[in-house]
Amino acid sequence: MTTPAATPGPPAQPRSRGSVDDSGVFDDAKTYYADERHIHNRAGPRTRTYSQNSLIKQMERMGLKEPYRRGSHDESTIPHSRRFLVQVEPTLQSLQSQEDTDGNMQITIEDNGPKVLSLRTAASNGHNRFDIRGTYMLSNLLQELSLAKEYGRKQIILDEARLNENPVNRLSRMIKDHFWEGLTRRIDASSIEIAARDPKDWTDDPRPRIYIPRGAPEQFEYYTKLAQDKPEIRLDVQLLPEKITPEIVRDMNAKPGLLAVDMEEVVDPETGETSLRGRPFVVPGGRFNELYGWDSYMESLGLLVNDKVDLAKSMVLNFCFCIKHYGKILNATRSYYLCRSQPPFLTDMALRVYDKIKHEPGALEFLRVAILAAIKEYHSVWMAEPRLDPVTGLSRYRPEGRGIPPETEAGHFVHILEPYVQKRGMTFDEFAHAYNHGDIEEPELDDYFMHDRAVRESGHDTTYRFEGVCADLATIDLNSLLFKYETDIARTIRNVFHDKLVIPEEYCVGSLVPGQVETSAIWDRRSKRRKLAIDKYLWNEKEGMYFDYNTAKREQCTYVSATTFWALWAGVSSPKQAAAMVTKALPKLEAVGGLLSGSEESRGEIGLERPNRQWDYPYGWAPQQMLAWTGLYRYSFTEEAERLAYKWLFMITKAFVDFNGVVVEKYDVTRPIDPHRVDAEYGNQGLDFKGVAREGFGWVNASYIYGLQIVNAHMRRALGTLTPYETFVKALENNQNKALAELV
């Protein structure tokens, strides 16, 4: 029996961190700073070749210098084993006062200190000193001291290898050992007081609140008891209505809250009592506590490379819970997102997890539930009104909703609403309430907010590609994803479930009936129909790429977007179409740091009246990179995939080295020096840390880990030495020419 594969990618490459790894030099901070070396301060042999203190004192009285002492074998001939005896707090203060000249608790290339600090060597019991030089080593020292202080260390024995570590290895290690943990959440008694608080709760009485679906009575009982046992946290436990409508969601905005996600039964080993525990998931950035949609898929690509399979599996199960109880994978699990989904990636995510666990008990049932959930989502969300365009047969981002999106900051829509407020002669609050509840009608505003909600559902918020039109667009990204659903479901039913999948009652939607048997044939037909429609409405032969199609105007759009490469990821393109995209589309979208979100020409002129949007030129985002690499690899454009991955990884590594370990949400891929400086719209998550970065950013972490599987071994070594792509290529060409000359 053959197993359906997820979207193909390059084979994983074995990684080695060198023999020093065996001695714990590169352990995670919790392990490293708990080591007994920091308690007993024993770090090597005695360093004096003579031990009579009286002789030393006699020499001092006579004004003689101490005899020259040959350095120990450890210090002189094995640089990896050099260690430093460091007083944490004084060294940290000295480092900051001398090197952090702009006072932001980071040491970067923009600080103008001397960029050198002397540390005492441990092998000499602090007698000898060694200079730590350069931005990278000093910023690593700042990070290590910050971690040591966090773990309660007053004095440490610090390995030099942690300061001059290959930056590719260091960032990979930070992601695996620290960043994922910093971004992992679970919703239960351990976290509910914080997680159920909403920073976007603008009401007069913000408090922790959780909404429980009707189909999870065990959770309602669990949280109700928790609220009774801990009245001081003021937890408000609400039961959701059986049927969720836009009007109900609007009325819930007066009491916004967290939505429950999946929980598992656990047994207390001491009492033997059974309780519930939240299934863990990874959030996009450190300030979030709710489960997000397509961020989770992108994160799973890195989690699986890092062997965190259980965490990726848990996220799939949380998605299945959302589809079962809320009808869709939500933008995020807050009450005001109940009408809004996000780009659908469930089948590929589930198949990638299944490929890792298929020999484990319960793996088949896991995949069965995930495919059933995807079938339900496919029919009830994407192939139903209002998202389905019946004329083309293609789908659109078009969520339902009433009134003004409540999750934005108070003044976000003032410039849009003010003319209507003045026209009605009302106060702003009076107008907002009357409009939200249908007491007054403003069709133009209805249209504006319909498109605004669609942009948010698309995940690409915001871009001039979508402004004022998104709900009318059959996009190449969404329809590529749905083609992937159709082909994944067909292959899985055929190859894993022997071409027979029974639909239980709880997964029935639309025309599906309990006990109905699904076969691969109908899903094959659906994928073929969608490919024909994509070719007819979205493919542009002249331009050699896919464009969105406006279902209201019945015409193709002209915005050049990196989402054209999603068709390669999904396998919807023919080899001829793929070659055309590489020839014509790629040159318009490639920059020094990887793929642009869109072309500069498509974005148009910007200024005070037309500010830049974060999903437009000149910005690049991790999802666009990862899907393009995988798609190019799928169609055997290996060189292009490696080149784009190298550029993206180089940009991240360079910023990581130059700016104190920074890893952020998005990058300006046209800036070679400080690409993390992005000032469009919502700022840049991941910048706000003191001393040491704790989480990075979810899908950028994943893109780094995943991208290292794309590039070859030569490229990985070049990345570790911060070699720009052009320099790397020239070196390769010189080596090849030299080899050819030797053959003559």
Please give the pLDDT value at position 61.
54
Please give the pLDDT value at position 60.
54
Using pLDDT thresholds of 50, 70 and 90, give the confidence band for residue 69: very low
Q: Write the single-letter amino acid at 597.
A: S
Q: What torsion, rounded to 10 degrees, do the Cα atoms 28, 30, 35, 40 define? A: 130
User: SS3 of 308, please?
Assistant: coil
CA distances from 636 to 67, 273, 327, 630, 633 (A): 67, 55, 38, 10, 5
Residues labelled catalytic: 461, 665
Give me the DSSP letters along 394-445: -B-------SS-TTS-TTTTHHHHHHHHHHHT--HHHHHHHHHTTSS--HHH
CA 327/CA 380 separation, integer angstroms: 7
CA 147/CA 602 separation, integer angstroms: 45
Residues in the chain: 744
Give 556-592 pLDDT, tens digit per residue.
Answer: 999 999 999 999 999 999 999 999 999 999 999 999 9
CA 480/CA 357 separation, integer angstroms: 27
- pLDDT for 662 beyond 70: yes
Give 359-397 pLDDT, tens digit per residue.
Answer: 999 999 999 999 999 999 999 999 999 999 999 999 999
Please give the pLDDT value at position 376.
97
Please give the pLDDT value at position 269.
85
**What radius of gyration, in Å, describes the C-alpha atoms of the chain?**
29
- pLDDT for 514 beyond 50: yes
Tokens 């350069």 -> residue: 134
Please give the pLDDT value at position 34.
87
Looking at per-residue pLDDT, the higher value among 91 and 198 belongs to: 91
Give 601-641 pLDDT, tens digit per residue.
Answer: 999 999 999 999 999 999 999 999 999 999 999 999 999 99
Give 592-607 pLDDT, tens digit per residue.
Answer: 999 999 999 999 999 9
Using pLDDT thresholds of 50, 70 and 90, give the confidence band for residue 17: very low
Segment among 1-15, 199-213, 222-236, 403-417 with least mean pLDDT: 1-15
Question: Mean pLDDT, to the nearest integer, of 135-162?
Answer: 96
Structure tokens at 306: 């890092």
Q: What is the mean pLDDT of the chain?
A: 92
User: Helix 698-710 vs helix 638-658: angle between axes, to the nearest 10 degrees?
Assistant: 130
Give me the DSSP letters along 719-742: HHTT--HHHHHHHHHHHHHHHHHH
Please give the pLDDT value at position 10.
67
- pLDDT for 66 beyond 80: no
Give 19-49 pLDDT, tens digit per residue.
Answer: 444 468 999 999 999 877 776 655 544 334 4
Percent of the chain with pLDDT over 70: 92
Do residues 328 and 379 lie in contact, with contact meaning Cβ atoms separated by under 8 Å?
no
- pLDDT for 113 beyond 70: yes
CA 707/CA 728 separation, integer angstroms: 17
Segment among 75-84, 278-287, 448-457 with least mean pLDDT: 75-84
Please give the pLDDT value at position 59.
52
H-run or E-run covering 110: none
CA 137/CA 163 separation, integer angstroms: 5
- pLDDT for 738 beyond 50: yes
Using pLDDT thresholds of 50, 70 and 90, give the confidence band for residue 4: low
Burial of 734 (0-12, 13-18, 19+ CB in 10 A): exposed
Please give the pLDDT value at position 510.
87
Q: What torsion, rounded to 10 degrees, do the Cα atoms 425, 428, 431, 432 define? A: 170
Distance of CA 264 to the CA centre of its chain: 25
Give 247-268 pLDDT, tens digit per residue.
Answer: 999 999 989 999 999 999 999 8
Please give the pLDDT value at position 632.
98
CA 598/CA 595 separation, integer angstroms: 8
Segment among 117-126, 151-160, 235-244, 406-415 with least mean pLDDT: 406-415
- pLDDT for 272 beyond 90: no
Burial of 622 (0-12, 13-18, 19+ CB in 10 A): buried
Please give the pLDDT value at position 38.
75
Using pLDDT thresholds of 50, 70 and 90, give the confidence band for residue 5: low
- pLDDT for 80 beyond 60: no
Give 284-342 pLDDT, tens digit per residue.
Answer: 999 999 999 999 999 999 999 999 999 999 999 999 999 999 999 999 999 999 999 99
